[in-house]
Homo-oligomer: A and B are copies of this chain.
Amino acid sequence: MKKLINGVDNVVDEMLNGMIAAHPDYVARVPGTEVLVRTGAKKTDKVVLISGGGSGHEPAHGGFVGEGMLDAAVAGAVFTSPTPDQVYEAIKASECGKGALLIIKNYTGDVMNFEMAAEMAEDEDIEVAKVVVADDVAVENSTWTTGRRGIAGTIFVHKIAGAKAEQGAGLAEVKAVAEKVIANVRSMGMAIAPCTVPAVGKPSFELTEEEVEIGIGIHGEPGTHREKVSSANATVDQLLDKILAEGIYNDGDEVAVMVNGMGGTPLSELYIANLEVANVLAGKGIKIAKTIVGNYMTSLDMEGFSISLLKLDDELKALLEAPADTPAFTQK
C-alpha cells in the first residue's frame, strides 16, 4: 500500500487538522472530538444542520460546513460510523435554541448512532429532528444497510436544507424540505478500480484489468454485478437507465445533476460522463437546471463515479441556487 499518510492510526486526526489548517476561516475543531463546526461564535438564530459518518468520503462532510450548508460534521474512523457521543458533541457545539436536523446516510451503524445521540440531546431538552438519505438505486439491501444506501445525493440535502435553515426557517420546515429532496433524488455508481482502507492495507475488492463493478457502494460494497469494461457512454446509459426507471424524472421535468468522482478518477473523465448524461436527458425532454461535477462524496482512492438526479420544483431550485460558502462548495 502506497499512500500519502503518516500511519494508519493518524489518518482521520491529521486529515481534520489539515482541513482546518487550510480553511481556518471556515472550520474549527471541537476540542477533544472529531467534530468540525463553523469558525467563530456559535449562531444564535438558526436551525443547525449536522451530518457526518465514516471518514474516507472527503470532502464529505467537513468540507460542507459553512454558510448555507452544514453547521457541524462528525468524522468517524475510516468507513466506520461515528459514535453516539461524538454526534452528541456536534449537537451540543452547534445547537442554539432552534433545534438541530441530523442528516444521516442510510447505514445501519450511522442510523443507530445518530438516533442514540438524538436521544441524548432530547434528554437535555434540545429539539432534534432526523432525516435518512437512501438515494442509491443499485441495491435494496447491502453489506451495512437495511434498505437502500445513502450516497452522493446527500450533498443536495446539505445544500438545499442548509439554504432553508439559513433563511430562518423552523425545524419542521427545514426537515420538510430535506425530506422533499430525499423523495426526489436518486443515485447510482460504478467502480473501475477499488479503494484501499489504510488500516487494512490492501484493496477492498479485486477487479481484473478488464472488469468494472456496476452499482458499487461508497465503501466498496458489492454492487449489482461485474462486467467487462465498456465505453463511458454505455456505462452512463446503464446507470441512468436504472435511475430513470424509478419513474421520478419525466419529459418536461427540471432536474439537477451531480456527476460525482469516487476520488481517483480525473475530472476530464467525469466531464466526458457528464456529456452523455446531458445528451440522454435532453433526448428525454428532461431539462437540466444545474450540474455539479467533481469529487464530493468519495471513497478514498477508488476510481469510478456516480450519477445523481434531483427533480426540482420552484422551491428546491431557488434553494439550490442560493449562495453557499464552504471549503468544498462555494457559489455566489
Residues of A within 8 A of B (CB): 2-7, 10-11, 14-19, 21-23, 55-56, 58-59, 63, 192-193, 209-210, 212, 229, 231-233, 235, 257, 259, 263-275, 277-278, 288, 291-293, 295, 298, 300-301, 303, 305, 323, 325, 330-332
- CB neighbours (8 Å) of A19 from chain B are 271, 274, 293
Q: Is B21 a contact partner of A274 (Cβ separation < 8 A)?
A: yes
- CB neighbours (8 Å) of A323 from chain B are 332
A192 to B275 CA separation, bound complex (whole angstroms):
30
| 11 sampled A-B residue pairs with Cβ under 8 A | A2-B212, A6-B272, A18-B271, A18-B272, A18-B273, A21-B291, A22-B259, A22-B292, A58-B271, A263-B267, A301-B303
Q: Is A272 a contact partner of B14 (Cβ separation < 8 A)?
A: yes
Q: Is B5 a contact partner of A272 (Cβ separation < 8 A)?
A: yes
Copies assembled: 2
- CB neighbours (8 Å) of A55 from chain B are 268
- CB neighbours (8 Å) of A259 from chain B are 22
- CB neighbours (8 Å) of A16 from chain B are 271
Q: Is B265 a contact partner of A22 (Cβ separation < 8 A)?
A: no
Q: Is A301 a contact partner of B266 (Cβ separation < 8 A)?
A: yes
- CB neighbours (8 Å) of A210 from chain B are 2
A30 to B266 CA separation, bound complex (whole angstroms):
24
Q: Is A23 a contact partner of B291 (Cβ separation < 8 A)?
A: yes
A326 to B118 CA separation, bound complex (whole angstroms):
39
Residue of B nearest to A16 (CB): B271
Q: Is B266 a contact partner of A264 (Cβ separation < 8 A)?
A: yes
Q: Is B269 a contact partner of A3 (Cβ separation < 8 A)?
A: yes
- CB neighbours (8 Å) of A23 from chain B are 291
- CB neighbours (8 Å) of A272 from chain B are 4-6, 10-11, 14-15, 18
Q: Is B301 a contact partner of A3 (Cβ separation < 8 A)?
A: no
